[in-house]
Structure 1
Amino acid sequence: MYVKSLLITGANRGIGLEFVKQFLKLPQSPQWVFAACRNPEKATDLKTLGETYPNLRIKQLEVTDRESIKDLVTSVTSDLGEEGLTLLINNAGCLKRLQLNDVTQEEMLESFQINSVAPLCISQAFVPVLKKSSLQSPGDGGYGYRAAIVNISTLTASITDNVTGGNYDSRTSKAALNMISKSLSVDLKPGRILVSILDPGWVKTELGGAGAKMEVSDSVARMIKVIQGLTMDKTGTFLNYDGKTLPW
C-alpha cells in the first residue's frame, strides 16, 4: 500500500530517525513525512535531512502533554490541507529496565504515561485525520484498509515469553500498549483503519545498548517491508520485525 503521508513520533534518533530516513529514500516516497520530537531545535540529523528532502516536516511534540498533542494535530492538518494522514507510527518510548529492588511508583507511572497512555492519546487525536484519508482514498489495493496506525512494542511485553522476570517498567507498560492496540484495532476496523503492533527486535540504539545484535537500518528496513505488506486480516496482531506472529 502506498503511504501518501505519515507521522513518526520519537523521530530525532534511533529507530524513529531511521524510519524517517528510509521512508524518504523509498522509490515512491510519501508526499509528506512528519517527524515529531521533543526538541526540534536540537534535532540536527532531521534538520540535515530537511535540507535535501522538501517533503520532510519537523514537528514539536511532548507525548505526555495534551496541549502539545493538540497543537501537533493542528499543525499537521494545516500542512495536509484537504488530505488525510495515511500512516501514524507511535515510536516514542522509554526504557528504564527496572528490577524488583529498583521499582518506584513514580518511575512506573512515568513509563505507563510514555509507553501506554501517550500512544493511545496520540492515536485518539489523529483518528479524524486518519478517517479523512480513509474516506478520500479511491481504493485499498486489495489490502482491506486505507489508513493505519503502527505501535512499536517489544517481545519483552509478551506474558507467554517471560521466563526471566525483571524489566517491570518495559514489560508492563508495553503489554498495556499491546492491549490498547488490540482495542483500537476493533474500534477502528469499521472505518478501514488498520492497527499493527511491531517488535523491532534487539537493535543497536541508545535504548538497545551495546549488546544488541541487529543494526537499526536492518530492523527498520524489515519493518517497512512488513508494513507495506499488511492486510486487514492482520489488524490487531503482535508481529516481529520479519512479520512472524508473536505470543501475547
Structure 2
Amino acid sequence: LHVLQLEGTNYNSFPQFVKQVEAIVGDQGIDTLINNAGIAITTFLDSVTAEDMLKNFEVNSVAPLMLTKALLPLLKTSAPSRKTSVINISSTLGSIELNTEPEVNIYPDANVYPYRTSKAALNMITKCLAVDLKPHNIHVISICPGHLKTDMGGPNAALEVSTGVSGVMNVIKTMVTDDNLGKLINHEGSIVPY
C-alpha cells in the first residue's frame, strides 16, 4: 500500500503526482482508478451563489475528469493485459429522472443545486469517458455508494460506511462490463436512470 497526497483541484501538481504513481506501478500501469473525492455544498434556490456552484463543479466534476486525463497513459498501459476501469463515485441525487422521487430526495423540501448538478455533470463525464475509452479497452462507470454516515453524509445518513464500501466493491467485481459502460449503478447493483 502506498499513500500519496494530492489536492484534486491543484492541476499543476498532477504531472508530479503521475510521476510518483508511475514510479510505483512501473510498466504494469493502473488497472483501477476510483475517483472518490467530493464535496456537498447544500444551498437551495433562495441562497445558492455562483461560487457555490463553481466550487462544487470543480471538485465533483472537473477534478475527476482532469485526474483521469492525467493518468490515462498509465490506464492505457494496463488495458491490453488486464481488465482496466475508471470508477467515478457519484450519486443518485445526480439523476435528472429521479429528481422528484421522495426516496431519492434526502432534502425533500428543495433541491440542493450545487451538489445535485455537479453529480449530474459527473454522470455525463462518465458517459463521455466510456465512449472515448472503450476502444482502448478501458471500462468507465459511475457508482453511487448510498447516503453514508461520513463527514459529508452526517450521522443521520441511512447507511453505514461498511455497507457502501462492500456494495461499491461488489459492483466493481461484478458489473464493470461492456453492457454497463457509462452507466450509474447504485451500491445494490441496480442501474440508476440518468
SS at match of 1:58: coil
In the alignment, does 2:38 pair up with 1:101? no
* Partner of residue 126, structure 1: 71
TM-score, normalised to structure 2's length?
0.92
Decide which of 156, 169, 183 is 1:237's aligned counterpart.
Answer: 183
**Cα distance per residue 1:84-127 (max 9 Å; x no partner):** 10000000000011111221111210111100000000011111
Alignment of 1:59-208 (within 5 A): 59-135=4-80, 137=81, 146-163=83-100, 164=108, 165-208=110-153
Distance in 2 separating the partners of 1:102 and 1:68: 33
TM-aligned CA deviation for residue 243 of structure 1: 1.0
CA distance in 2, matches of 1:240, 1:158: 11
Between the aligned partners of 1:70 and 1:110, the Cα distance in structure 2 is 22
Which letter maps to 2:119?
K
AA of the residue aligned to 2:127: K
Provide runs of 4+ in structure 1 moved above 3 Å: none
Offset from partner CA, 1:141-163 (integer Å, 9 cap, x none): xxxxx210000001111111112
Q: Post-superposition shift, 1:210?
A: 1.9
Alpha-carbon distance in 2 for matches of 1:68, 1:149: 20
- SS of the residue corresponding to residue 101 of structure 1 reads coil
Provide the rounded CA distance (Å) in 2 between the counterparts of 1:172 and 1:218: 25
Amino acid at match of 2:185: L
Question: Pairwise mapping of residues 29-68 of structure 1 onto structure 2 (< 5 A)?
Answer: 56-68=1-13
Name the Cα RMSD after superposition. Answer: 1.1
Show the counterpart of 2:103.
Answer: none
Per-residue deviation, 1:187: 0.2
% same residue: 43
Q: TM-score, normalised by structure 1?
A: 0.73
What is aligned with 1:221? Answer: 166
The residue matched to 1:162 in structure 2 has which SS?
A: coil
Unmatched tracts of structure 2, length 5 or more: 101-107
In structure 2, the residue corresponding to 1:131 is in which secondary structure? helix
Give the aligned length.
Answer: 185
